[in-house]
Amino acid sequence: MILPIVQTGNPVLRRVGRELTAEEIKSPAIQRLIESMRDTMRAAPGVGLAAPQIGESIQLAVIEDRAEYIQDASPEQLNERHRSVIEFHVIVNPKITLLDEGSAAFFEGCLSVEGYQAVVRRAYRVHVDCLNERAEPITIDAEGWYARILQHEIDHLNGKLYIDRMESRTFTTNENFVKYQ
């Protein structure tokens, strides 16, 4: 089921989401929510979707960077962003550590700030401890674009949006991004 995506200004986007118990994660309700979030993310289309973006103030996000999203990017762009296909997965109750190996600044958008983009500087490498959709502990060590996606989605779970971190003079509409970048 495709769910409506809430837009900036909705207070749910500014709350810290509640952690889920293992029992909650395994429940039919959360399993259905994960499926609906996956379908909603793909329909948007997006590379990540956090529960607050569909009005649920809980520590749950889905992530996937599909081959079709990067097929038109040049090898130089893919290399510069260190971007590749990321299989669908779920992160629950994530704890992120930014690793001290530099940062990268790129344009970023958000399904909850529809129609706009801005440059955001993010850590190049991150370490994430979380639970998966079966409530099993997992560790993710990511770099490049994947690290950026994780930081963006975990920000949502902590009541932050990319506009809180953006270089404000770069804020632009998607139309002007295509026209002038």
* Active site members: 153
Phi, psi of 106 (to 5 degrees): -145, 160
Phi, psi of 83, rounded to the nearest 5 degrees: -115, 135
CA 66 to CA 108: how far, in whole Å?
A: 17
Provide CB contacts within 8 A for 104, sequence distance 6+.
Answer: 81, 121, 122, 124, 144, 148
